[in-house]
Structure 1
Amino acid sequence: MIRILLAEDEEAMRTYLARALQNAGYEVIAVDRGTAALPLLEMGEFDLLLSDIVMPEMDGIELAQRCAEISPKTKVMFITGFAAVTLKASREAPQAKVLSKPFHLRDLVMEVERIFGQQAHASI
């Protein structure tokens, strides 16, 4: 089963995204900040880091850069509500997909499936 580490500081969004990904058949561990994600990346194997870009303490770009050092096989995908941040992310982490808010949960699941080359697990 594909394991996703979700870092999102907004509780409602974090719950919403985690539930959608779990319903699509993924194992999801969700945290509220980048600094909480780091020890999990060090301890376990994650297939995907799904991170908001704008978060307290450590932003998603720094988290992705640390993830590349700690767990180089982990793929990265960003979610953000800020267009200017999207441009910065694409320059600083060119391998990462950026999904801009608002988006439909189906779009999120489709992007994750594209990353791993899988067919739909469930309809949302």
Structure 2
Amino acid sequence: MGKILLAEDDNDMRRFLVKALQTAGYDVAHFDNGLSAYHRLREEPFELLLTDIVMPEMDGIELARRATELDPDIKVMFITGFAAVALQPDSQAPKDAKILSKPFHLRDLVNEVEKMLQQAA
């Protein structure tokens, strides 16, 4: 199935997300900060960037902006407790990014990921 790049600084949340996505059949590369995730994006293509917004070293909005500069076709989904930040017009978040507000059920995450990746196909 699809290749997903996950950037989430909360270790427990990242572990749960990786397990849920891998169980659903996705290939997941995961990082605990935006800068490390960005370096990986420069090395290989991914179909979906799944990122928290508030992270050390590089926040999720900056990561998403840079990711779409590298690959305009990459899908972006923010997972955050700060949805209002991503929705501000001056945030420079990619226009068609999906926002999933914490807390959410892992099944909802997998369903949203499936929908986004089917649109790409």
Q: TM-score, length-normalised on structure 1?
A: 0.88
1:22 alignment partner AA? Q
For structure 2, the 5+ residue unaligned runs are none
CA contact (8 A) 1:81 1:102 kept: yes
CA contact (8 A) 2:85 2:91 kept: no
1:34-71 per-position Cα deviation (integer Å, ceiling 9, x unaligned) = 00011111111100000000101111000000001112
Deviation at 1:89, TM superposition (A): 7.5
Deviation at 1:112, TM superposition (A): 0.5
The residue that corresponds to 2:116 in the other structure is 115
Q: 2-side partners of 1:77 and 1:88: how far apart?
A: 15
CA contact (8 A) 1:61 1:89 kept: no
For structure 1, the 5+ residue unaligned runs are 119-124
Aligned CA RMSD, in angstroms, stands at: 1.7
Q: TM-score, length-normalised on structure 2?
A: 0.90
2:98 alignment partner AA? K
1:12-27 superposed matches below 5 A? 12-27=12-27
CA contact (8 A) 2:8 2:31 kept: yes
The residue that corresponds to 2:105 in the other structure is 104
